[in-house]
Chain A
Amino acid sequence: MKNMKIKMALIISLPVIIFGFSIIAGPRMINPFTTDEISREILFSIRAPRSIVALLMGMALGASGAVLQGILKNPLADPYILGISSGASLAAVLGIMGGAAFFGSFTIPVLAFSGALITGTMVGIMGWKRGGLWPERLLLAGVGLSFLFSALLMLIMSISGDEGIRRAMLWIFGDLSMSEWSKIPYGLAFVFPGILISLFRAKALNALILGDEFAHSLGFSPHRERFILFVAVGLLTAASVSLGGMIGFIGLLVPHIIRSMIGADSRLLVPFSALGGGALLCIADLISRSVLAPTELPAGVVTAIIGSPYFLYLLRRKNVLSI
């Protein structure tokens, strides 16, 4: 039990430390109390919003991954498996082709968010039968839609010579360099409700993992709970895609890593997956903008390179709990 407390303290303090460090470190270290004007501008209008966005996005992915693996009862579920990200990319690309620029630098995030929500709703409708959502149906509907949207995306990419679309795809495949303060309130507005819903329904999630009959006997309506949690996942994933495109690994593997550390109780798993995801993305982004500076690497590459070996190590050393 004492060991557990140490682990929990570690998981809570890690994001805070990493967040602070990611602001003062970068291509060059900056003393946070500097009076140099350029350094202050870099700290406050570039690094701070970027680290906050990384934290928010990582939290959204970690939490939605943990919830989704529970409601789909599948250890391979990741927030992108529902086709939400391909829907977001497709909406962004279609919008750009249609000449949409109405929101200035918000155009792609807004398009991506709407695409993600529309796709989420479509998956929900297709996963709906006999008064509720069914895990297998959701999963298959998501995979099916994902293939369809990816194919349409490839089709557009291969017949269109528009340079803008190719560049927009760079953004879709994970980019945090355009994080600004102005995007943070919108991010918060969706990430926090999503995480709160998941937290309040964590007990129900535990029951759902054990099976619908079991949940029923504990006094939960499985269909209702699954629907509420599905909405939370949709919000979280849509928000994360519109904050920084698609960044893999976190939603799939962070919940597994956390599960191997503190167990499978969703009441702990969901918040700690969020914290772990936030910390991982924050540090991955720090590395991606520092190692080859002034050149930046895609953050998703770094997350996978530092995360996967650790995950594989856990897989060999410990008994990774399935869900």
Chain B
Amino acid sequence: MRQLFFRRFALVLLFSLLTINYLLFTASYAAEPPRRIISLAPNITEILFSLGLGDKIVGVTSFCDYPAAANRKSKVGGMSNPSLEAVISLRPDIVFLTIDGNPKAFEEQLRSLKINTFVLRSKRISELPHGIRQIGAAAGALENAEKLAQEVEKKINDISQQQKAFMSVHHIAKKTKVLFIIWPEPLIVAGPGSITDDALQILGVDNIAGNTVSTYSRYSLEEVLRRAPDIIFIGKGQNSMNEVSEGLLRRLKNTPAARNSKVFYVSDNLYRLGPRTVKGIDELAGHLQQ
């Protein structure tokens, strides 16, 4: 009899403790926006800065170089190998991670140490507005996030409409064939699942590497000649890429793109899923409509 009583008592105690714990935990999480934020991905850092949370960021990765203010934040290591010690010593209220580049085990480690985490699952342009809203919710900047997300949605929509209008005005019926080069030697191109491929789809053009087996794959030079791109984009800027691209472009000189001087060096705006992605799409649209 007595044993049974104790067992029940213990159960009730356990249950109530759990409830209290739960209430306390969620209450603190919901009521008080985090004051010390760590971002473990460059695109999340950019989003956080655009949401006006720059002051609250206490740590970033060594890849977080945009905006300029991100360079002055303390670094906690790379994306794939952040330092657990560095993260803990900054006493973060929340750590933002991405499934696109941060190790899953690191997030589990943080959680086991009772550190709040948020994992961004957006990888595609269509998922960007949702991702921004989620980050806003977790970081306590709901309003700004809603504003930024809507802005992104509207801009993407505008660019896509504008491109359609351009194509109908100029009676372009056939889809323009485009190749986006990430690196020239060995030739690596933006394939399916990349932000760049999404951008090309939004612009209604045909990515000739849209059916490769992986996102960024080595691409066959002879297939480039065979598929004859009308436009070639080379990522990451004229200054850093023109010397290394020289040999490749010489070999592609008989493609329609090279013959009609439609080879363009573009910025790295499309390499990160964040506020700058829209600028990147706009940049491609500008070249397409030349």
Q: How far is A289 from B222 in the complex, measured between Cα atoms in Å?
A: 10
The answer to whether the Cβ of B24 comes within 8 Å of any Cβ in the partner chain is no
- Contacts A167-B188, A178-B185, A178-B186; A105 near B247 (Cβ below 8 A): yes
Nearest chain A CB to B78 CB, angstrom units: 8
Tally inter-chain residue pairs, CB-CB below 8 A.
Answer: 91
Instruction: Name the segment of A78-86, A142-150, A204-212, A293-301 touching the other chain.
Output: A293-301
The size of the chain B interface, using a CB distance under 8 A, is 33
Bound together, the chains give a CA A189 to CA B254 distance in angstroms of 30
Answer whether A294 and B225 are a contact pair too, CB < 8 Å, given A105-B185, A105-B246. Answer: no
Looking at the assembled complex, report how far the CB atom of A95 sits from the nearest CB atom of chain B, in whole angstroms: 13
**Beta-carbon contact of B222 and A42 below 8 Å:** yes
8 A Cβ contacts from B38-90 to A: 62-63
Residues on the B chain within 8 Å of A32, using CB: none
Query: Is the Cβ of B251 less than 8 Å from the Cβ of A27?
Result: no
Is A46 a contact partner of B221 (Cβ separation < 8 A)?
Answer: yes
B264 on the interface (CB 8 Å rule)? no
Q: Hey, what's the 0/1 contact readout for B86-114 against A, CB within 8 Å counting as 1? A: 00000000000000000000000000000
Judged by a CB distance under 8 angstroms, whether B243 is at the interface is: yes
**Closest residue of A by beta carbon distance from B250:** A105
Q: Bound state CA distance, A297 and B212, in angstroms?
A: 12
Residue B214 lies at the interface, judged by CB distance under 8 Å to chain A: yes
Is A161 engaged at the interface, CB distance under 8 Å to the other chain? yes
Residues on A with beta carbons closer than 8 Å to the beta carbon of B251: 45-46, 180
B220 near A178 (CB under 8 angstroms)? no
Question: Would you give the 0/1 interface string for A164-175, flagging 1 where the beta carbon is closer than 8 Å to chain B?
Answer: 100100110001
Which of B198-225 touch A at CB < 8 Å? Answer: 209, 211-214, 217-223, 225
Question: In the complex the two chains form, is A46's CB within 8 Å of B246's CB?
Answer: no
Q: Is A177 in contact with chain B by the CB < 8 A criterion?
A: yes
State the CA gap A294–B219 with chains docked (Å).
Answer: 6
Q: Is B226 an interface residue (CB 8 A)?
A: yes
Question: Which B residues are CB-close (under 8 A) to A256?
Answer: none
A101 an interface residue at 8 Å Cβ cutoff?
yes
B213 touches A295 (CB 8 A): yes
CB distance from A230 to the nearest CB of B (A): 32
Determine whether A47 belongs to the interface, using a CB cutoff of 8 Å to chain B: yes
Q: Does A292 contact B (CB under 8 A)?
A: yes
- A104 and B243 within 8 A (CB): yes
Query: Would you call B185 and A161 a contact (CB within 8 A)?
Result: no
How many residues in A have their beta carbons less than 8 Å from beta carbons of B? 32
A161 to B61, CA, bound (A): 11
Separation of A184 and B87 alpha carbons in the complex (Å): 52
B137 CB within 8 Å of chain A:
no
Contact B254 A41, beta carbon cutoff 8 Å: yes
A5 at the interface (CB under 8 A from B): no
Among B62, B218, B225, B250, which residue has its beta carbon within 8 angstroms of that of A295? Answer: B218
Across-interface contacts of A42 in B (CB, < 8 A): 222, 225-226
Q: Is the CB of A296 within 8 A of B218?
A: yes
CA of A45 to CA of B244, assembled, Å: 19
Instruction: Kindly list chain B residues whose C-beta atoms are within 8 Å of the C-beta of A296.
Output: 186, 217-220
A243 to chain B, nearest CB (A): 14
Decide yes or no whether A28 CB sits under 8 A from chain B: yes
Q: Are B221 and A177 in contact (CB under 8 A)?
A: yes
Q: Which residues of B contact A26 (CB under 8 A)?
A: 220, 222
A79 CB → nearest B CB, Å: 22
Chain B contacts with A in 245-289, Cβ cutoff 8 A = 246-248, 250-251, 254
Among B63, B185, B212, B217, contact of A171 (Cβ-Cβ < 8 Å): B185
Provide the bound-state CA to CA distance between A229 and B226, in Å. Answer: 45
Q: CA separation between A298 and B188, bound complex, in Å?
A: 13
Q: Report the separation of the CA atoms of residues A211 and B4 in the bound assembly, to the nearest whole angstrom.
A: 88
Could you tell me the distance between the alpha carbons of A190 and B254 in the complex, rounded to whole angstroms?
32
> Would you call A164 and B254 a contact (CB within 8 A)?
no
What CA separation (Å) do A298 and B218 show in the bound complex? 9
Known contacts A45-B251, A46-B251, A293 near B186 by CB under 8 Å: no
Interface string of A151-170 (1 = CB under 8 A from B): 00000000001011001001
Q: How far is the CA of A312 from the CA of B188 in the complex (A)?
A: 34
The A-contacting residues of B in range 103-147, CB under 8 angstroms, are none
B222 & A27 in contact (Cβ 8 Å cutoff): yes
Query: In angstroms, how far is the closest chain B Cβ from the Cβ of A288?
Result: 9
Give the contacts of B169-195 with A (CB-CB under 8 A): 183, 185-188
8 A-B pairs (CB sep. < 8 Å): A42-B226, A105-B247, A161-B63, A167-B188, A175-B186, A180-B251, A293-B223, A296-B220
Q: Other CB < 8 Å A-B pairs besides A38-B226, A41-B225, 5 of them?
A: A26-B220, A27-B222, A42-B222, A42-B226, A104-B246
Interface residues of chain B, those whose CB is within 8 Å of chain A, are 62-63, 183, 185-188, 209, 211-214, 217-223, 225-228, 236, 240, 243-244, 246-248, 250-251, 254
Q: What 7 A-B pairs come out closest when comparing CB atoms?
A: A105-B247, A294-B223, A296-B218, A295-B217, A101-B243, A42-B222, A294-B220
